[in-house]
Chain A
């Protein structure tokens, strides 16, 4: 079927309320859809509609992403030459700090939960709202306050600690503006906690009649798992960064041995949050892919329950592996061995998901539209990222490649190749729902390809660089590494196009895109039963759920 939404086949096995409300009929401009319900600026900035808040977040994180991406471009530019002639060392250090802090805390961590999560979670469980709509608005204001403050600090003053803020460098030795950056990140943490709280309560209390736990889409499961991590891990980050503030501002010795502290304690506390944080970044991506793959294979998600449990499994084991970032800091041998084997265990639930996606498309009716292309790219890159994670979890390999470009490549494969591609895939998939318009399909496919090729061209050479021994955060590097660095920088140009195109044509489509039907992909799930864009209160009638998730049986019958 083409994305313009003709000919929705009847779904006799569903109750009347759940059939596509107005098959094939565009609903854009119906006076009460959430975009047109009110028009003033105030109606956006002071909204308590979870959908509008989702859109506010979408605009905000795109804004931050652009800054982070510009910094990345400058980093790659400067690494074209080995001896760091383009910037001073200090400028370079500030650039990678800017890049890391913004991308991790103001783009990747909030990306999918605050945009798709806010917009879709209530709709997917058949609710009119999140549990605490005003708190949700407050979360956005807190996020913006913290993030803008830190970003202003990073851009105007500059900070040179790296996103990891290792002590005692960050507390005693750096003479850049570390305190404001910490303050902003701490503030943003509260926004994460409140969002997590809101989602957990929403999932527990707001599900539509008949929406049992095992009828929830996997995306909702992953949002739930992520919210638990937000609630349990973020406070640790808050405390850790507060301790940094105390030491830097008041010389209360916590981490600096000169003041009687212990720098390894900081590493422990930081990674106790930051390893779970990588699952904050990756679980939502898995959720998005688990929606896209069944929709474009028109087939039930293979092993739904396993995938749901794997999400909770990941959210729990992820708290037990932080020590794998510290194998070479003199950590006790027993601890290192335990963290190593637990890290191998984390890979199991991740692998379950990948195999299940593959099994899902077996015997499906596969359409290779843009969201599916992104999903396939995601799976490829995520697999490589995950496996190189296993290499890093192997003790004697980590002794070699720790803190080299190998690690840089590893986490970019997972976070950029993974999360950022899942984000783009989801954005295309739900774009009709968000805006009532279709994006231009050909451009979408081209961008998905560019993103995939450009990504590999940028980051694959970094695995080699790392194994050859190039340390990370190096502005001056030995000349024998130049070739691979130039290759990586050229790849990043392609990658940049892969991001730039969607930004342009998605905006273009707001005005010129084809109008979208309620269910352009013939996908299952409550969000496709309401109009595109949805009315202010999500559904015209309260949905009642009496079907299983990903119930594509009527489609599977086709031969």
Chain B
């Protein structure tokens, strides 16, 4: 692998600024925990030597009132306060990991027993391996077709469970080109340990060359657009339909009022639910006439449709959706 003889390595390569940050956090935390525990180990050793039974030693010991309470409180609260700093550091990073920047490109991942399928915005698909550019935030939305998996990218110090029936996501901004590993880290049956591949982090130019070389026939949004027409979605949802159905332009990322009260943000999981199980979230002000496409559309098709709907701009510019796509425009606040 990248960087000489990895057989003897005891520390993983960090391929992003975030990964370095995690490493720093770990080292700093290790240092503080050593401060808190070395006294225990040293104390135990020294005491068991000088106060060994039969050895003459000064053993006079009086309990002073209030002293032991003070000691107890101090060794409860001081370590707790010290470690809380690391809680805060970790939580801060976690917060960043939960909010992909608006300029992130979106790669979709589908997990199934026992392989990964990745699809780039341009439609290029790959199995088990994943190519990503440096210097560019990459957001991976994922879903499983069967059991729970998890996409784990150790060089980036990040992983996320891949659930059936619901999208999850992670994002990163790699900065060190190289070849690393990617794994499924959630146990998923017989060949769980073979559900692994390589993560190729490439300079942007190399990445573009790789994409071109893959030569996808069709971008993801174009495929979605086709499906949208072919499955009759357009018939209800575009102008001139006889059914009263909401327009889907500019829907992504917006709050949708529910029949049952309250609103739901139209994120990827919401769109998916609407397509596969339209009765689940009924929208206020519409009659639920939409048929379920469960069993009709494959998981890949749903991914393409969702990509298309995400890229659908506001009303009149609908036609431009096909051109918009590579950089997905309306990532907005899609955090679950």
Contact = CB atoms under 8 A, between A and B. Distances in A.
Contact of A477 (B33, B97, B161, B193): B193
Chain B, interface size category, equals 35 or more
A363 B163 contact: no
B190 A160 contact: yes
Given A391-B26, A469-B152, A344 B189 contact: no
A351 B36 CA distance: 10
A169 B146 CA distance: 8
A399 B159 contact: yes
A333 B95 contact: yes
Interface string B25-69: 110010001001101110110011001111011111100000010
Contacts of B159: 328, 399-400, 402-403
Contacts of B188: 169
Nearest to A388: B33
A298 B61 CA distance: 13
Contacts of A559: 56-60
A394 B75 contact: no
Interface string B155-174: 10111110111101000000
B40 A365 contact: no
Contacts of B79: 348, 351
B150 interface: yes
B1 to A, nearest CB: 7
Contacts of B68: 302-303
Nearest to A477: B193
A340 interface: yes
Contacts of B154: 400, 404, 468-469
Contacts of B183: 469, 471, 474
A81 interface: no
Contacts of A93: 187, 189-190, 192
Interface string A174-203: 100000000000000000000000000000
A169 B76 CA distance: 42
A364 B60 CA distance: 10
Interface in B133-182: 146-148, 150, 152, 154-155, 157-161, 163-166, 168, 181
A474 B188 CA distance: 11
B200 to A, nearest CB: 16
Contacts of A361: 44, 47-48, 51
Contacts of A306: 72
Interface stretch (A44-52, A144-152, A376-384): A376-384
Nearest to A330: B168
Interface in B188-226: 188-194, 196
A258 B144 CA distance: 11
Interface string B93-112: 11101100000000000000
A257 interface: yes
A45 B33 CA distance: 49
Interface stretch (B82-90, B246-254, B258-266): B82-90
Contact of B33 (A302, A387, A469, A558): A387
B336 interface: yes
B9 interface: yes
A480 B6 contact: yes
A299 B161 CA distance: 51
Given A379-B40, A396-B94, A475 B148 contact: no
A468 B12 contact: yes
Chain A, interface size category, equals 35 or more
Nearest to B55: A365
B158 to A, nearest CB: 5
B20 to A, nearest CB: 12
B161 A473 contact: no
A475 B40 contact: no
A227 B43 CA distance: 33
Contact of A263 (B48, B57, B148): B148
Nearest to B151: A328
A478 B199 CA distance: 14
B329 interface: no
Contacts of B335: 333
A240 to B, nearest CB: 16
B160 A328 contact: yes
A336 B94 contact: yes
Given A391-B26, A474-B193, A362 B43 contact: yes
Contact of B44 (A84, A263, A376, A464): A376
For the residues of A in contact with B, the DSSP-based class is helix
Nearest to B194: A476
A351 B37 CA distance: 10
Interface stretch (A352-360, A413-421, A422-430): A352-360
B193 A89 contact: yes
B71 interface: yes
A554 interface: no
Given A395-B93, A395-B94, A365 B59 contact: yes
A362 B79 CA distance: 21
- Max chain B C-beta neighbours (<10 A), residue from A352, A354, A358: A358
B51 A297 contact: yes
Contact of B90 (A263, A359, A394): A394
Contacts of B8: 483
- Max chain B C-beta neighbours (<10 A), residue from A367, A368, A395, A477: A395
A396 B147 contact: no
A364 B48 CA distance: 9
B22 interface: yes
A363 B165 CA distance: 62
A240 B98 CA distance: 30
B317 interface: no
A364 B49 CA distance: 11
Interface in A475-499: 475-480, 482-484
Given A258-B165, A298-B53, A468-B9, 11 more contacts: A84-B193, A93-B189, A160-B189, A361-B44, A365-B54, A367-B52, A390-B83, A396-B21, A396-B89, A404-B152, A556-B61
Across the A-B interface, give the 7 residue pairs with the lowest CB-CB distance, nearest first.
Answer: A469-B154, A257-B165, A394-B90, A396-B93, A395-B94, A400-B157, A474-B193
13 contacts: A93-B189, A169-B147, A262-B165, A263-B165, A328-B160, A330-B166, A352-B76, A363-B58, A376-B44, A396-B22, A399-B157, A400-B154, A473-B187
Interface of B: 1, 6-12, 21-22, 25-26, 29, 33, 36-37, 39-41, 43-44, 47-48, 51-54, 56-61, 68, 71-72, 75-76, 79-80, 83-84, 86-87, 89-91, 93-95, 97-98, 113, 146-148, 150, 152, 154-155, 157-161, 163-166, 168, 181, 183-194, 196, 335-336
Interface of A: 1, 84, 89-90, 93, 160, 162, 164, 166, 168-169, 172-174, 256-258, 262-264, 297-299, 302-303, 306, 327-330, 332-333, 336-337, 340-341, 344-345, 347-348, 351-352, 354-356, 358-359, 361-368, 376, 379-380, 383, 387, 390-391, 393-400, 402-404, 464, 467-469, 471-480, 482-484, 556, 558-559
